[in-house]
Amino acid sequence: DQQVKQNSPSLSVQEGRISILNCDYTNSMFDYFLWYKKYPAEGPTFLISISSIKDKNEDGRFTVFLNKSAKHLSLHIVPSQPGDSAVYFCAASAITGGGADGLTFGKGTHLIIQP
Amino acid sequence: EPEVTQTPSHQVTQMGQEVILRCVPISNHLYFYWYRQILGQKVEFLVSFYNNEISEKSEIFDDQFSVERPDGSNFTLKIRSTKLEDSAMYFCASRNRGRRQETQYFGPGTRLLVL
């Protein structure tokens, strides 16, 4: 039961170009979305998040777009840099009434920035 | 910048043995989590902990698992009788304040290998 789907296992982008990573979700109760970056043998590092009351959030080179009607979000990285090469995870949090909910992760997209 | 730390970084154990994985969350954080990532699979939520009790747990978190905050700084995950399928990377995470929509920060992980 994949509630958060990242359908591209890998993505290769030229340095300096825009990287677009996509994520789809099925659970209508998700209202908070996060992107994490992960290098091998390290923990996920938080990149950027967005609440369902917004449709865009920007932080430097990173912008996340949320389309609630399509249950789709995307992460844009521009310009892409070699250090951006990593696995990117989309994660979501749901309204369940509790105050400490676990995140549901996608399987990740391996972004490769080519020089 | 404050970080979540985890020890040990690697642990090898025999099937049936007990293991304790340790985490030191960020000092002013109030919510604590354990996740795991089996090799090649997505990061999966195990349990969340707040105010000295479990807030939420997944179906993975069965009776062989337990969590504890034995003092003001450590947060532990105990696996009572390890199985081969418990081999995974275990991540601790923490977040601040009471609003659910706060970022969870992850530690570097403990790689557990059950033989």
As a residue count, chain A comes to 115
Rounded to 5 degrees, φ, ψ at A82 are: -55, -35
Residue among B102, B84, B89, B85 nearest B43 (CA): B89
**pLDDT given for residue A24 in this prediction:** 97
For residues A25 and B21, give the distance between their C-alpha atoms in angstroms, rounded to a whole number.
32
Residues of chain B in contact with residue A105, where contact means CB-CB under 8 angstroms, are: 42-45
pLDDT in tens, B1-14: 779 999 999 999 99
Model confidence band, residue A10 (pLDDT cutoffs 50, 70, 90): very high
For residues A50 and A63, give the distance between their C-alpha atoms in angstroms, rounded to a whole number.
10
Average pLDDT, chain B: 92
**pLDDT given for residue B21 in this prediction:** 98
Nearest to A103 among B98, B104, B108 (CB): B104
Q: For residue A97, is pLDDT > 70?
A: no
Assess B47–A contact: CB distance below 8 Å, yes or no. yes
**pLDDT given for residue A40 in this prediction:** 85
Model confidence band, residue B97 (pLDDT cutoffs 50, 70, 90): confident
Over pLDDT 70: what percentage of chain A?
Answer: 94
Q: Is A89 exposed, middle or buried (0-12, 13-18, 19+ CB in 10 A)?
A: buried
Q: Which residue has the higher pLDDT, A64 or B71?
A: A64
Model confidence band, residue A102 (pLDDT cutoffs 50, 70, 90): confident
pLDDT in tens, B14-65: 999 999 999 999 988 889 999 999 998 899 999 999 888 998 899 999 999 9
**pLDDT given for residue A64 in this prediction:** 98
**pLDDT given for residue B51 in this prediction:** 87
Q: Is A88 exposed, middle or buried (0-12, 13-18, 19+ CB in 10 A)?
A: buried
Mean pLDDT in residue range B76-88:
96
Mean pLDDT in residue range A82-101:
81
Which residues of B, range 48-87, sit inside 8 Å of A by Cβ?
A: 48-50, 55-56, 58
pLDDT in tens, A14-23: 999 999 999 9
Model confidence band, residue B98 (pLDDT cutoffs 50, 70, 90): low
Assess A14–B contact: CB distance below 8 Å, yes or no. no
